[in-house]
Amino acid sequence: MKLSEKSVKMRLTAKSLLVLGALSAQSAAYIPGDNQQQPLVPGNPVSHYEVVHTHTAVEDAPSYRTPLLSLHRNLVNVPSISGSEGPVAHVLEKLLTNLNYTVQLQRIPSSADGDDAEPRYNVLAWPGTNSTRTLHGRVLITSHIDVVPPYLPYALNRTTIPPSEAVNFTALHPSTLISGRGSVDAKASVAAQITATNLLLESGALDPESVVLLFVVGEETSGIGMKFFSASLSNHSIFSPDPFGTSSSPSSQTPDRPQFKSAIFGEPTTSLLACGHKGITTLLLTATGRAGHSGYPWLGRSATSLLVRALNKLLDADLGSSERYGNTTVNVGVIEGGVAANVIAKEASARVAIRIAVGDQKTGAGVVVRDDGCELRDGRSNLEGDHVSYLYGPGSILVAHGDDEGLTVGELEEAVEGYKRLIKHAVEAS
């Protein structure tokens, strides 16, 4: 969007934000009593909400505590900021292989914005070393392995634990706080999903051919991992044992896009099944001015001043609200511009994320094209298909991305039990 001195008035209205409805973001919400966005557990402070535990004493620790917490620790210890997920993908590949999964790394092409410092991979895993590697009709259990910056080390009760230091996990109380970047969003979901799936498989309660695991990259930025996986399904035969064409001999089957029975997405929802979530749209606002000496501002045109005035209009606008999701909210995440304090800025830009609480996809699409004349890019879902979707995971979104990101041992264990129930329900549903 280009801004000139005479056109700083924003045209983004509530109706133009209908475009993404409530279908394409990760900020889960529950029914509040007013139009303010509510905590996922109302009435509790962000870092001190009540957690209900099945296991209330050290001696009641579940048998899977050590493998669960060891897996979670190993994942958090590996930095995996978006664009640099290669090492954590290899950690997962080795771990899942040792657990008798058939594992395939799906390499993601370099992104257009150039944030790829190294090779990065989605991790796809089928239970069993002799899996048919089919996808059609299975329940997809998925989350993401990338995190936001900066890296924060693994800690217990706010004390950093070096990777080389041994921890007696069975001696930990359920209220022990585990923190570090990704400890909630979303490596807690990854660890709990893998543990829950393994427990069901080991007990014979789950058919190995009924599920598949997928852990993607780039969720925190462009969603490239899930987009690439979804696009790859178009070349996948329903019955193909080689879903991404790694074999030198072509499949004799006619490609027929597989349909998952359902998909379980792991995101922090305080171990409550989400009833829905806000939509999202992102904007890149650019302003172009005329450079000059700051002592003679009338001889130039400040791009930063234009941008600030435009952003103020956006921040002050009423972009709509709903009883269920609260207000539509605006975050100005990145501002760039200018070269020096004594130079009138010629260029300036801002990256903005808007979480949309109103409207639906179909109505909003027409509004954007008809009323605003903008190009519409469909963002309803990065995973296409006619399947039931579930959103569930341990930890609170209110601490995700923050310096205090963390969850308790008890929360992580409760999520394992929750995923076990949810996976069984999804598999058995008609």
Active-site residues, by number, are: 219
Considering only CA atoms, which of 283, 281, 289 is closest in space to residue 348?
289
Nearest-angstrom CA–CA distance, 297 and 6: 17
Across 11-26, b (16+ Cβ under 10 Å) vs e yields ebebbbbbbbbbbbbb
According to DSSP, the β-strands at 155-156 and 347-356 are unpaired
Q: Where are the beta strands (DSSP E) in 328-401?
A: 329-337, 343-344, 347-356, 388-392
- Considering only CA atoms, give the Rg of the chain: 23
Residue keyed to tokens 């909003």: 364
Across 73-92, b (16+ Cβ under 10 Å) vs e yields bbbbbbbbbbbbbbebbebb
CB 314 within 8 A of CB 352: yes
- Strand-pairing partners, residue 156, are 159, 178
Determine the 3-state secondary structure of 298 from DSSP. helix
- Type of residue at 20: L
DSSP codes of every residue in 233-267: GGG--TT-S-TTS-SSSPPSSPP-----SEEEEE-
Q: Where are the beta strands (DSSP E) in 268-328?
A: 279-288, 292-293, 321-322, 326-327
Residues in the chain: 430
